Structure 1
Amino acid sequence: MSNPIIHAYDFDGVICDSAVETAITGWKAAGQLWGDMPTETPPDMIEKFRQIRPIIETGYEAILAMRLLYLGDSCDAIFRDYQEKTQQLLRQAQVSVEQLKKRFGETRDHWIANDLASWIAMNPLFPGIAEKLQQLGRTETWYVVTTKQERFVKHILQANAIELADERIFGLDRNLSKVEVLQGLLKTHPGQELQFIEDRLPTLLNVQKHPELAAVKLLFATWGYNTDSDKSRAKQQGFVSLNLTDFVP
């Protein structure tokens, strides 16, 4: 009998469709730094954020992305000069990445403390995911490997009746890259197949650069936060592309 497969899943864009909540939290946090922004997030800004979501790796970047959108930057311009534009905002606001991470987390915490139901409603799971993970947990071992803070992952999983031990959630709090987490999982499960499902092509390309991770099967989640260009390039790079209908029961 073959060894069971070990599953490692990214969270945002694979399990959870968090784009709207991330946009609103980013807008709220940006308003604390720049007082000229309205309190309520305009619906068109949320839609534009969804379009640029593929470029964002970690949640706190939504603060900068929403500010750029408010200032009138087009989605194309943000895609083209994202690093330069965000670095310029950091310098102008005189804030560090660590300060933005803290502000973003605290803004989420405040929303959760005051209206957990609406926060959960803005973080729906993709169709069929809850049932898949509930079933998977009975028979196989799975992990979350994410740049999201772990307490937020736990809130969302619990709200969807999904049980996952704390030690199987690798989030921002651990200060480990996804490469480092996967290296650790290979050591934890020697001789077993490790599959990593991720929706961000740059993340998969980065993992692919590490020869010590050659045994990890890399799967590209096409339903997540990626572009048509990403999908084409994923095929060219030889990644296995999964559609949501392939993934869920």
Structure 2
Amino acid sequence: MAAVGLLGVRPAPATGRLERQARASPDAVSWGWRARARPLRSVPPPGRAGRGGARAARPLRAAMGGGDLYALDFDGVFCDSCGESSLSAVKAAKVRWPWAFEQVDAAMEEWIVEQMHTLRPVIETGYENLLLVRLLVEIQIPSARKSSVADGLSIQEILDNWSKLLPTLMDEWQEDRESLVDLFGRVRDDWLENDLSGWIGANRFYPGTADALKLSSSELYIVTTKQSRFTGALLKELAGVDFPSERIYGLGTGPKVKVLQQLQEMPQHQGLTLHFVEDRLATLKNVIKEPALDKWNLYLVKWGYNTQEEREEAGAISRIQLIDLPDFSKQLK
């Protein structure tokens, strides 16, 4: 799925930071993996517009005349951030557990990043990337093992059992969620501040999704487990969209089921047809469990971070509609 083949991840000679060497595939240009060839600028604080460049989102239609409201996941629906999140996770893991990386060379880092692309469907929140990176190190280096699960563990077993492995690793490594979330955010902030073009270029928007955002006349909200400041930066710098910061419900705003309930109860949204677009089947199942959210039309995208097995399972659930990329872009407009 990725349009860039990773050739290696290595420490920069002067700074020790990770750099990525990439070889563009024939699809890389059409899939927009690289940042646009236009000057990049520093990202303004939330709620403030930058100067020029990015196009403002179209005025959103008032609810009094009816219409549609879309609650939209970000990673896996609009943005393929797997390259950036994997590289950021390696950087952060080196800060958190430097001793575990003493025997990790460039070739092993390359292998880790490649496996992270395969494992991306299991990740719900960004900090989990760090845990996966360390687990991959333990799988490869017996002397670095501090968990009871790494010995003989396969990539497929991680995919099948991540929900059980996650709490086990957190307990055995004596980690806490908030510290990992904070570290992952700080590492990303540092990369964004010191190498904006490199950070932006490690992400890509799926074809047609940025234009669909710009042209939509529906009520739009981003509902994501990504931290809001990174979502806003990518919308502005990579998609060219000045998306209102108050319409981005990011990490820390509560579970998605609660956000959907808040949105449907807002007076200005009464009478609108409600749509929720996700790439994680587990999230849609959580919505189905809530009777109060029965009014939402649910969609699982076919191009995001999900597996063929999950798409087949979703196809058997009457409440969920599978949607492909061209139809999504057309419907959003």
**TM-score over 0.5 (shorter chain):** yes
- For 1:140, the aligned partner's letter is S
Q: Deviations over 1:122-178 (max 9, x none)?
A: 111111111111111xx221000001110000100111211211110000132x110
- For 1:94, the aligned partner's letter is Q
Matches within 5 A, 1:40-79: 42-72=109-139, 73-79=153-159
3-state SS, counterpart of residue 12 of structure 1 = coil
Offset, 1:205: 0.4
Aligned to 1:18: 81
1:9 equivalenced with 2:72 (yes/no): yes
Aligned to 1:180: 258
How far apart, CA to CA, are the structure 2 residues paired with 1:190 and 1:8? 15
Residue range with higher mean Cα deviation, 75-84 or 220-229: 75-84
How far apart, CA to CA, are the structure 1 residues paired with 2:294 and 2:97? 45
- For 2:130, the aligned partner's letter is I
- Structure 2 spans left out of the alignment, 5+ residues: 1-63, 140-152
Residue range with higher mean Cα deviation, 68-77 or 37-46: 37-46
Q: Deviations over 1:95-122 (max 9, x none)?
A: 2011111111111111111101111111
1:207 equivalenced with 2:287 (yes/no): yes
- For 1:54, the aligned partner's letter is P
How far apart, CA to CA, are the structure 1 residues paired with 2:110 and 2:208? 27
Aligned to 1:244: 325
- Structure 1 spans left out of the alignment, 5+ residues: none
1:228 equivalenced with 2:308 (yes/no): yes
Q: Counting strand residues as a fraction of each chain, which structure ranks higher? A: 2
Could you tell me whether the CA contact under 8 Å between 1:28 and 1:39 is conserved in 2?
Answer: no
Residue range with higher mean Cα deviation, 223-232 or 35-44: 35-44
Aligned to 2:96: 33
Number of residue-to-residue matches in the alignment: 246
Q: Counting helix residues as a fraction of each chain, which structure ranks higher? A: 1
Could you tell me whether the CA contact under 8 Å between 1:196 and 1:219 is conserved in 2?
Answer: yes
- For 1:153, the aligned partner's letter is T
Could you tell me whether the CA contact under 8 Å between 1:21 and 1:119 is conserved in 2?
Answer: yes
3-state SS, counterpart of residue 205 of structure 2 = coil
- For 2:314, the aligned partner's letter is A
Could you tell me whether the CA contact under 8 Å between 1:52 and 1:75 is conserved in 2?
Answer: yes
- For 1:244, the aligned partner's letter is L
Offset, 1:229: 0.6
Offset, 1:31: 1.1
How far apart, CA to CA, are the structure 2 residues paired with 1:148 and 1:196? 17
How far apart, CA to CA, are the structure 1 residues paired with 2:171 and 2:203? 31
Q: Percent identity?
A: 38
Larger radius of gyration: 2
How far apart, CA to CA, are the structure 2 residues paired with 1:114 and 1:39? 24
Could you tell me whether the CA contact under 8 Å between 1:33 and 1:93 is conserved in 2?
Answer: no
1:142 equivalenced with 2:220 (yes/no): yes
How far apart, CA to CA, are the structure 1 residues paired with 2:222 and 2:182? 21
How far apart, CA to CA, are the structure 1 residues paired with 2:219 and 2:272? 11
Aligned to 2:33: none
Q: 1:163 aligns with which of 242, 252, 256?
A: 242
3-state SS, counterpart of residue 31 of structure 1 = helix
Residue range with higher mean Cα deviation, 83-92 or 10-19: 83-92
How far apart, CA to CA, are the structure 2 residues paired with 1:39 and 1:141? 48
Q: Deviations over 1:25-62 (max 9, x none)?
A: 11111111221324868233222111111111001100
